[in-house]
Amino acid sequence: MTPENKVFADASTKGVIFKATFGNIYDKFLQEPFSNWLSSWDAQYGYNADLENIGYKAPEFKQGQFAITVFNFYKNQDFCKRVKLLNPDGTTEIRTINHGEQLIIKQPGTLVKLNYDPSAYHTDQYADGTQGNYIYVTQSMIDQGNLGISIANWQTFYLEKANTPSINLSLILKFYPRENPGNFSFDAEALYNRLDPVRKAMATVTSNPIDRSNFINKSNSELTFGQLLEKAETLEKTIAINH
């Protein structure tokens, strides 16, 4: 984590679960609403890497941690989502993640319920038998640091770290409306390198959205479905501490 990042640690979890921002460059981008040239349609209905920094904000992929971000398309600073955690020691807590923040988990064996709604009690299970909104943070996920989640206005993005960062061509064309990608002289990398730091950060793709079932198979591989449901029942029934 760079020195620019703001970290909000909680002594009760001894630094294994904490919130952080993304540093000064991303903080500026995350505070300013998009101009009219960005439509919300793709953010609502699309599910691809070109939506990074438009429809979702990828977490920082780092070995030793698993992170969940919250992103609001309209940059509403009051926008937030809640998750409920069942810690390995059996304690339960509710965490509120604001737009532009990421919740970082360094403790394997933590069960996370996404989009927690205290008014609804139920154990999520989709028709295909996969485990709905529950994510079990495994030792492998922590060690590899290549999976993450972004909760946005209209949908949840299940993310895998890209092998190498790439350039978001659609944003390059928005930033340079007079350029024609069909022209032989078009050079996306040269245009990218001319961007100011904020726009360059916006146009950098670091993640790939993957299918929810695929993500769950990768993340919950250490538990059987029955074991996960048992933990989910415990999570639902236990009184949680709000943070």
| Residue extents of the structural domains in the chain | 7-161+209-242
pLDDT digits (tens, 9 = 90+) for 145-199: 999 999 999 999 999 999 999 999 988 988 888 877 777 678 999 999 999 988 8
Q: Is the pTM of this model over 0.85?
A: no
Per DSSP, helices labelled H in the chain are 24-31, 41-45, 139-144, 169-175, 188-193, 197-202, 212-219, 225-237
Neighbours of 89 (CB within 10 A): 7
Q: How far is CA 157 from CA 175, 176, 202, in A?
A: 25, 28, 17
Contact (CB, 8 A) for 151 and 69: yes
Sole residue written with tokens 């449901």: 229
pLDDT digits (tens, 9 = 90+) for 58-82: 999 999 999 999 999 998 999 999 9
Dist CA 19 CA 5 (whole Å): 10
Contact (CB, 8 A) for 28 and 200: no
Contact (CB, 8 A) for 92 and 236: no
Q: How far is CA 118 from CA 78, 112, 154, 156, 209, in A?
A: 19, 14, 19, 19, 28
Dist CA 114 CA 124 (whole Å): 10
**The pLDDT value given to residue 211:** 92
Side-chain half-sphere CA neighbours of 186 within 13 A: 13
Dist CA 207 CA 147 (whole Å): 9
Dist CA 233 CA 204 (whole Å): 40
What is the band of 12 on the pLDDT scale with cuts at 50, 70, 90? Answer: very low
Q: In this structure, what token pair is assigned to residue 223?
A: 């538990």
